[in-house]
Structure 1
Amino acid sequence: MFTGIVEEMGTVKECNRQGQGFDLCIHCSTVLEGTALGDSICVNGVCLTVAKMDGSSFTAGLAPETRSRTNLEALTSGSPVNLERSVTPTTRMGGHFVQGHVDTVGVIKTFKKDEDALWVTISADDSVMRYIVTKGYVTLDGTSLTVVDVQDDWFNVTLVSYTQSHIIMPTKAVGDKVNIEVDVLGKYVERLLQFNNVASPGSAITPQFLSEHGYE
């Protein structure tokens, strides 16, 4: 699990495509601290397992499904990526619960500068729009952001100047794809409500039962 607070921007060192999947080698520094083989690192919102590492980079493999469901397929040597290590019991929860499981890929519709802030509008499909609410959380390329406005097929977020300099979003262009993960709490609520009208079995412990067994 992650928090959506990007620890550093790494750089793709190389992509070695092998059949339907490929290996991704990323140059970085901060996220290597305390990391061991088999640990998870969030790369642009995708939870990947560290398969190899040295003092300046790590390598992770991407399964065919990950390629088809995320924007990592578009990465090339030199591409910047958002990175975050998985949480520990002592990690500060500065963002929200992020699983690293991308729900869909959205498209950047507009960028708009507003003094020091940067407004970003993202279009997304119906499969996720019902989970996106005003003032709620959404994860874009691994970054936990607050939703400002929501319409039928798009929503927008705003980035303060500090955030702009610490994530990859400002390096993108209109039309580029972004990995979207919605707040999982909304999914759990929806699932529970599906069973709201299912009657619970009545208890076998009735006043008559207690009386018949010596309880008055």
Structure 2
Amino acid sequence: MPLGRVGAPASAPRVLLYGRDGRPRVPDDLGNALAVAARPPGSLPDGREAGARGPFDRVNPVDYQATRFDQAWRGKGTAGDVALENAHGSVTGAAVTIPLGDGDQPARARPPPSVRFNPALHERVADLGSEATGDAYKAAPIADEPAPGLDGAASRIVREQLAALERDFPHCGALPTAALMRPVRLHLAQLERIEHAFAHGADPVRAEHLLPREADAAYMLARRALWYARQKLAQCSR
């Protein structure tokens, strides 16, 4: 063993892992060895993966050769795509475009069915009101009718019937008549607000779908309140 001085071993040379700029020190011959890039497993040697549709789509391994029958196929998809193309329209790849009439038809809400109102067959009796809560008119056994329109015709009919009711029973007194007229005036005010919103630039979707339903409900309740008030006022003694 070589000794640097008598009785002491010689010190080993100092190995530096990083240079003065802070980068790791790599031998020159190691950089040339890393320059050879390895291909990922399963890749094609001829570079056909460049024609794939996406980074995760596999290339067809069959080397297809075009034939004279290719011009008979108008679509680019499967046989089902071509059948749809012949029947309806154009097919581009897997996306099928089927025309519906003159163009795309927007979705429309289906109106509720016209069913005659029968209080005895109602599912929830609590919805029909009662004498204690002051809304027993909701159980009036009359047929439901849609509002004749949103141009003011529905509220005009209710006002005319309200005036006729006050004219036919002047002997019943102001207090009983006012109590029976209160729900009629309430639903009449709702109907007038709906007509005002329709006539003064309501949202197109609300004007087409919501306002007609709201007008039908207000008109129906006003008619039931009128029928109930007439039945009660008819029992007044002269």
Fold shared by both chains (TM-score > 0.5):
no
Q: TM-score range by the shorter chain?
A: under 0.3
More strand by share: 1
TM-score, normalization by structure 2 = 0.25
Please report the TM-score for the alignment, with normalisation by the length of structure 1.
0.26
